[in-house]
Amino acid sequence: MTAPDLGLGRPGGGAERRKVPSGPVWALRDSWAEALRHLRAMPRNPDLLVFCIVQPIMFVVLFAYVFGDSIKVPGYPDYLQYLMPGLFAQSMVFNSNYTGVGVAEDRATGFLDRLRTLPMFPAGVLVGRTISDLVRNVGTLMVMFAVGYLVGFRVEGSLGGALVATLLLLAFGYAFSWIQALIGLAASSAEAAASAGFIWMFPLTFVSSAFVDPSSMPTAFEWFAEVNPVTALSDACRDLYNGASPGADLWIAIAWAVAITAVFATLAGRRFHRSTPR
C-alpha cells in the first residue's frame, strides 16, 4: 500500500510544501512579516510601553536634577550637554534586553518551533524580532529628545551631525539586540534571559564615558572605560550633537556596531538552527 498524498493537490506534494524558501525577496518579506507581528502586539503590552517610556524619563530627570549640579566635566560648563548623549547610549543598550526576553518567551512557549516548521526564510524569525525592536528604539529616542529639550538640552551642532549621531545610536541598539537574541536562545526562561541580559549591561554603561569623564576613575576602571564600545558611542554622539569634530571616535563606534552585529547575528543564527527542528 502506498502512502497517501499529503500535498493537498499541490504540485510536488508534501516535499514541495516543506521546501524552505530562499533569496532576498523571501528574506525581506518574511522578516518584515515577523517584525509586524511584534509591532502589532506592542500596544497590547502596556508594561513594555510604560517601561520603554517611563525608564528613559526617570534617568533624564534623575541625572539632570539630582546629580546635575554636583558633577563637573572639563570642557562642559553645562553638564546636561555632556549627559544627554550618554543617556541616549545607555537607553539603546538597556532597551536591547527586551529582545532577549521576547526570544526566550517565544522559545519557552514553543512558538519558535512552530515558526521553523513553516515554509519561511529561517533567518527571518530573528531578523524580524530585531527590526521590531529597532522601531521601538526610534520611539524611545523621540521621547528622550523631547524630555531632554524640556530640561535644557540643545543640539549645538548641525542637523546633519545630529542625524548621523542618531543613526549611530540606532545602529548600536540594533547590534546589541543580536547579543540579547543569542542570550534569549540560550536561556532556560524569560526570567533567566532578563537577568543574564542586565548583568553585563550595567558595567558596560556605567564604567564608560556616558556619565563622567573616565580620567576621574580608578586606573583599572579608566582602562576598561577607554576600550568600552559605549565610550566610543557616547563620545562620538556627544561631539556630533555639540558641534565638535568626533575624530576617530566616529569610525571606532561604526566599527564596533558593524562587528557586534556581524559576530552575534552569526552566532544567534547558528544557535537558532541547532535549537529548533528542521
CA nearest 138: which of 201, 88, 175, 98? 88
- Residue in the structure block whose three cell numbers are 580620567: 215
pLDDT of residue 27: 66
CB-based burial, 102-128: b 16+ in 10 Å, e otherwise: bbbbbbbeeebeebbeeebbbbbbbbb
Q: According to the model, what pLDDT value does residue 135 have?
A: 87
CA-nearest of 57, 55, 58 to 47 is 55
> At CA 101, angle to CA 260 and CA 46, rounded to 5?
120
Q: Is 50 exposed, middle or buried (0-12, 13-18, 19+ CB in 10 A)?
A: exposed
Q: Answer whether 34's CB lies under 8 Å from 124's CB.
A: yes
- Residue 73's contacts (CB-CB under 8 Å, 6 or more residues apart) are 79, 82, 212, 213
Q: ∠ at Cα 103 (132, 98), nearest 5°?
A: 60
- At 162, which helix (H) or strand (E)? helix 159-186
Residues with Cβ within 8 Å of 20's Cβ and at least 6 positions away in sequence, in order, are 119, 120, 121, 122
Provide the pLDDT for residue 133. 87
- Amino acid 9 reads G
What pLDDT, on the 0 to 100 scale, is given for residue 86?
93
Extract the residue ranges of the chain whose pLDDT is less than 50: 1-17, 278
Rounded to 10 degrees, the C-alpha dihedral 145/203/136/63 comes to -30
Tell me what pLDDT residue 237 has: 96
pTM of the model: 0.83
Structure confidence at residue 13 (pLDDT): 43
> Do 97 and 194 contact (CB within 8 A), yes or no?
yes
What torsion do the CA atoms of 265, 142, 214, 62 make, to the nearest 10 degrees?
A: -130
Grid cell locating 153: 538640552
